[in-house]
């Protein structure tokens, strides 16, 4: 079930998969060659869709630290099947930010008003705190460097 919930469309294997597992998971062998087997997951869900129509894909764009989901004015629970990392927030066209709910199968966001697109923005608080710590450290070093230089002048 995780294969379809994570939008995994193709699987490459070094050894054949048991026929019982193929039947249970919806995998079908597409090709074999170069010592590897390629299987297609016929039950894969799209990366982004509304909960009300999980098999109807929604176009997405991958941008720097964000994913733009083109919702085309629809409303409902938006499901983006990516690794559920903390740090995502949803930004609407008017700039309003909304929290994103993490689920076992990705990111969930409720669209209560029609939007043409929504940006899921990723902000790593650890990275931002690291940069802030580095700047503070550089500032302390600079102050110390100036203080030592001033002492040598007088």
* Tens-digit pLDDT profile for residues 78-127: 888 876 677 777 777 777 777 788 887 788 888 888 888 888 888 766 66
Which phi-psi region, left, alpha or beta, contains residue 76 (left: φ > 0; alpha: ψ -120 to 50)?
left
Q: Distance between CA atoms of 35 and 57, rounded to whole angstroms?
A: 33
Q: Which residue has the tokens 């919702």?
A: 71
Q: Distance between CA atoms of 152 and 25, rounded to whole angstroms?
A: 75
Q: Distance between CA atoms of 89 and 41, rounded to whole angstroms?
A: 30
The number of CA neighbours under 13 Å toward the Cβ of 126 is 3
Q: Which residue has the tokens 């993490």?
A: 102
pLDDT, residue 154, reads: 61
CA distances from 136 to 23, 128, 129, 130 (A): 58, 12, 10, 10
pTM of this structure: 0.58
């Amino acid at each position: 079930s995780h294969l379809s919930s994570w939008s995994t469309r193709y699987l490459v294997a070094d050894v054949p998969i048991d026929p019982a597992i193929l039947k249970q998971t919806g995998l079908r062998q597409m090709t074999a060659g170069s010592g590897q087997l390629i299987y297609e997951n016929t039950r894969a869900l799209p990366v982004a869709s509304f909960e009300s129509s999980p098999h109807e894909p929604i176009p997405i764009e991958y941008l720097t630290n964000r994913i733009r989901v083109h919702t085309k004015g629809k409303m409902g629970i938006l499901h983006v099947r990516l690794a559920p990392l903390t740090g995502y927030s949803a930004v609407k066209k008017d700039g309003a930010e909304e929290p994103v709910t993490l689920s076992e199968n990705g990111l969930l966001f409720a669209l209560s008003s029609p939007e043409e697109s929504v940006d899921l923005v990723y902000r790593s608080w650890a990275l931002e705190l690291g940069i802030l710590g580095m700047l503070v450290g550089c500032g302390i070093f600079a102050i110390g460097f100036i203080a030592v230089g001033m002492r040598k002048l007088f």
